[in-house]
Amino acid sequence: MVTQNSPSPAAPSALPSELRGVAQLINAGRLGEAREQLELSCDQPADLLELMRLRLSVAERALTPSSAIESVLSLLTAEPQHAAALELYRELSSLQYSSGHSCLSYSHPPPPIRGR
């Protein structure tokens, strides 16, 4: 079951093992530990760190899912096949939908830009 504290019951598979550990802490509601581990993960790719910060901020209720989705969509616009961003987008969309604040039919990344 998706709850406000954990956007997903499983750690995103598109993440390296260190960041999957952070995701598992977030899912377990151990947000302080997740923040500490995330701060120690500075050697990870910047885009993945930002996605985990967004996920943690939503779990801490410091950021709404819709605000986090905006940031994820920015990343997806630049890199439409970004696996971790796609996973987080799906989690946030489901969370937003289950809370009654969105409709999945209107919550989707924009289509890719095509050359003319």
Residue 80 placed within a domain = yes
Least confident of 9-13, 74-78, 110-114: 9-13
Domain count, the chain: 1
Strands (E), the chain: none
Q: Is the pLDDT of residue 7 over 70?
A: no
Q: pTM of the predicted model, to two decimals?
A: 0.76
Contacts of 59 (CB under 8 A, 6+ apart): 4, 5, 6, 7, 26, 29, 31, 34
Distance (Å, whole) CA 49 – CA 24: 15
Per-residue model confidence (pLDDT) at position 106: 53
Structure-model confidence comparison of residues 7 and 85, the more confident one? 85
pLDDT grade for 72, boundaries at 50, 70 and 90: very high
Token pair 């550990």 is at which residue? 21
Residue 93 placed within a domain = yes
Residue 8 placed within a domain = no
Residue 47 placed within a domain = yes
Residue 115 placed within a domain = no
Q: Is the pLDDT of residue 101 over 70?
A: no
Closest CA to 54 of 39, 44, 64: 64
Residue 97 placed within a domain = yes
Residue 61 placed within a domain = yes
Per-residue model confidence (pLDDT) at position 8: 45
Residue 12 placed within a domain = no
Domain that holds residue 69: 17-106
